[in-house]
């Protein structure tokens, strides 16, 4: 589509970041890398390059397939890059949101130290099952 694009604008246009300023801030904070090197928001994106992007606890590896300069709908945005993130990294991220919901009876008060250890053991055993 386009001949050249800035990395912050590209990350925003492929919908990795909700706003362009968030993409710019991520670049400035060193959360966008090319071959392990931090890149500035004004870095010019080239087709075929691979970037590592960290968003909070999520880490993505993307390869540029097409350049975009404006934000497009999600169906077109997916065609502009290839997600090279290893499946185990994606599964680890998703499993954090599918942990068991522990609920205590109303009026039982705060958990004791023993209760807390039992809750932690239950959570740990749940995450150990996901890794198999």
For residues 96 and 38, the model is more confident at 38
Does pLDDT of 104 surpass 80?
no
Would 92 be classed as within a structural domain?
no
58 membership: H or E segment, kind and range: strand 58-64
Q: Are residues 109 and 44 in the same domain?
A: no
Q: How many domains does the chain have?
A: 2
Cα–Cα distance, 45 to 65 (Å, whole number):
11
Q: Are residues 23 and 78 in the same domain?
A: yes
| pLDDT confidence of residue 105 | 79
69: domain CATH number is 3.10.290.10
Stretch 119-125: mean pLDDT: 79
State pLDDT tens for residues 41-99. 999 999 999 999 998 778 899 999 999 878 999 999 999 999 998 877 766 666 555 55
Measured between its terminal Cα atoms, the distance across the chain in Å is 43
Q: 1 falls in which pLDDT band (50, 70, 90)?
A: low
Would 1 be classed as within a structural domain?
no
Q: Are residues 67 and 31 in the same domain?
A: yes
Q: Are residues 74 and 103 in the same domain?
A: no
Q: Are residues 103 and 82 in the same domain?
A: no
| Domain extent for 52 | 7-86
Q: Classify burial at 131, counting beta carbons within 10 Å of its beta carbon; exposed 0-12, middle 13-18, buried 19 or more.
A: exposed
| pLDDT confidence of residue 101 | 64
Would 40 be classed as within a structural domain?
yes
Would 58 be classed as within a structural domain?
yes
Would 93 be classed as within a structural domain?
no
Q: Are residues 11 and 37 in the same domain?
A: yes
82 in Cβ contact with 60 (< 8 Å) = no
| pLDDT confidence of residue 10 | 94
């Amino acid at each position: 589509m386009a001949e050249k694009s800035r990395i912050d604008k590209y990350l925003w246009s492929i919908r990795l970041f909700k706003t362009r300023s968030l993409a710019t801030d991520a670049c400035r904070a060193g959360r966008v890398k090319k071959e392990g090197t931090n890149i500035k928001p004004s870095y010019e994106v080239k087709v075929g390059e691979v970037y590592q992007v960290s968003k909070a606890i999520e880490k993505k590896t993307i390869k540029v397939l097409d350049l975009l300069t404006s934000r497009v709908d999600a169906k077109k945005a997916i065609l502009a890059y290839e997600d090279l993130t290893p499946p185990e990294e994606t599964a680890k991220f998703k499993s954090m949101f599918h942990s068991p919901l522990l609920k205590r009876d109303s009026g039982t008060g705060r958990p004791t130290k023993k209760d807390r250890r039992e809750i932690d053991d239950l959570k740990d055993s749940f995450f150990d099952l996901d890794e198999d």
